[in-house]
Amino acid sequence: FRYYTVDRCDFNSSELNDIEFIRSTFYNKLEFARFSSSLGKFVGYTEWGVKTADYWNSLTSYLQGMKAQREAYCLNNIGIDYRAA
């Protein structure tokens, strides 16, 4: 694939404070931008990634939605994983 995103959750426990939501965005197998719920914003890793991250960070509603993924996506799924283990 040329363009794709990967969402992941890094965690030590099922407590919300110990959870980090990360969305990595790739083009041609190179990560060009990443959102981290710990930082609360996108960071670019290439020249184009920096421009893209700045644009995404300027979209208030999009940024709020990304911040909410820590609870909506991670917390729910981590709870399921902990119960299954």
Could you tell me the CA-to-CA distances from 13 to 2, 19, 40, 82 in Å, in that order?
34, 7, 20, 9
pLDDT digits (tens, 9 = 90+) for 29-51: 999 999 999 999 999 999 999 99
In this model, does residue 52 exceed pLDDT 70?
A: yes
Residue 38 belongs to domain with CATH number: 3.10.320.10
Among 30, 62, 23, smallest CA distance to 48 is for 30
Domain with 78 in it: 3-84
pLDDT digits (tens, 9 = 90+) for 66-78: 999 998 999 888 8
Total tally of structural domains belonging to the chain: 1
Task: With 0.85 as the threshold, say if the pTM is over it.
Answer: yes
